[in-house]
Amino acid sequence: TWTTSNVVEESVAAIREQVGTKRAICGLSGGVDSAVAAALVQKAIGDQLTCVYVDHGLMRKGESEQVEKDFVAATGVQLKVVEAEERFLSALAEVSDPEEKRKIIGREFIRVFEQAQAELVAEAGAAGEDVEFLVQGTLYPDVVESGGGTGTANIKSHHNVGGLPDDIEFQLVEPLRRLFKDEVRMVGQELGLPDEIVHRQPFPGPGLGIRIVGEVNKERLDLLREADAIAREELTAAGLDRDIWQCPVVLLADVRSVGVQGDGRTYGHPIVLRPVSSEDAMTADWSRLPYDVLSRISTRITNEVDQINRVVLDITSKPPGTIEWE
Ligand code: XMP
């Protein structure tokens, strides 16, 4: 029978069997999936695991600090932080095709992990040569939607499944591969992770890189980070975090429209709010957020974020629209 303690017990046994006495590294994205995967693997193999947090510059405001502080405090994992903003942004320069972006981000992730692995080997001396495994928080829906499941069409290359390069040097450990998100949260709870981690809304591995429609650069990322932070602040203040599944905030970087602010004409970019309700992200409906909350978000974003003069609401369900715009 399916109980979270059975799932934990079986996964721990399977991970021990797979990894043996070797070492593993796990990428933390700040999301619940990678956090639970890491906690599970840590329970199984303890300090044979090192977590790696890649700061790729595509994170939301405050995200890096949260991973560095909260997750380490909750689990006591060994954490290595890699600053890789320049590397990712130069690899993404002038790329606007969504699949191309996903592939580039997936590839750069692996290259950074390989580098982190090499550094761990150097630091640990001979014992370090055994860093053979890469832990990923891949969920069942990720497997299905990347075309790796039951023959379903390939919708998107989720960067921890379809987006990996072919010449990957690691063996993958994917303890959540059969679970849905709500099950992952239960496993996280069972493992004693704090609510702020267990109930975090999903955030995609490729980060804000797939929430800018158009080319990705630092200036655009900074705009989007500000707008996203405002939306999250207002949703939290209104007590809506647990009512919605997630609310991507998207910058339409190649679209401009005319506006008026103060006495002057503006010619700025729109921000899209994409609040959705869902059980497992395979299907979703747009969330009926209270008008006054939407209104506050809109007013604040247009007042506080330079170059944004319009806020629009995405009222498409999934299908036909996916949750993320890319
Ligand atoms: P879509 O856009 O396919 O998103 O409807 C479904 C869910 O998956 C998240 N998502 C990702 N998560 N790596 C991830 O870890 C990815 O590459 C990725 N792409 C989308 C998305 O935020 C939503 O919760």
Domains of the chain: residue spans and CATH: 4-198 (3.40.50.620), 211-313 (3.30.300.10)
What distance in Å separates the CA atoms of residue 13 and residue 50, rounded to the nearest whole number? 19
Q: Quickly list H helices, the chain.
A: 4-19, 32-45, 63-66, 72-75, 85-92, 98-124, 140-145, 181-190, 195-198, 218-237, 291-304
Tens of pLDDT, residues 131-140: 889 999 999 9
Half-sphere exposure of 263 (CA within 13 A, CB side): 0
What torsion, rounded to 10 degrees, do the Cα atoms 43, 80, 202, 133 define? -60
What does pTM read for this prediction? 0.88
What distance in Å separates the CA atoms of residue 30 and residue 68, rounded to the nearest whole number? 9
Q: What is the pLDDT along the chain (326 residues), one digit of tens a residue?
A: 789 999 999 999 999 999 999 999 998 888 889 999 999 999 999 999 999 999 999 999 998 888 888 888 888 899 999 999 999 999 999 999 999 999 999 999 889 988 888 888 888 776 666 888 999 999 998 888 776 544 445 667 765 555 566 677 789 999 999 999 999 999 999 999 999 889 988 888 899 999 999 999 999 999 999 999 999 999 999 999 999 999 999 999 999 999 998 889 999 999 999 999 999 899 999 999 999 999 999 999 999 999 999 999 999 999 999 999 99
> Which of 71, 79, 101 is CA-nearest to residue 89?
101
The yes/no answer to whether this complex scores an ipTM above 0.95 is yes
The annotation status of 30 as a binding-site residue, yes or no, is yes
What's residue 156's pLDDT?
74
Read off the DSSP letter of residue 246. Answer: B
170: CB partners within 8 A, 6+ apart:
110, 113, 114, 117, 132, 133, 134
Question: Which residue puts its alpha carbon closest to atom 21 of ligand 1?
Answer: 204
The annotation status of 31 as a binding-site residue, yes or no, is yes
Question: Which residue puts its alpha carbon closest to atom 20 of ligand 1?
Answer: 204
What's residue 126's pLDDT?
60
What distance in Å separates the CA atoms of residue 225 and residue 229, rounded to the nearest whole number? 6
What's residue 158's pLDDT?
67
Amino acid letter, residue 131: V
What torsion, rounded to 10 degrees, do the Cα atoms 228, 311, 234, 285 define? -90
What's residue 154's pLDDT?
66
Q: 202: Cβ below 6 Å to ligand 1? A: yes
202 CA → ligand 1 middle, Å: 8
Tens of pLDDT, residues 22-31: 999 998 888 8
Q: Which is the closest atom of ligand 1 to the Cα of 324?
A: 2
196: CB partners within 8 A, 6+ apart:
70
**Strand 257-261 to 264-273 pairing:** antiparallel
What's residue 150's pLDDT?
45
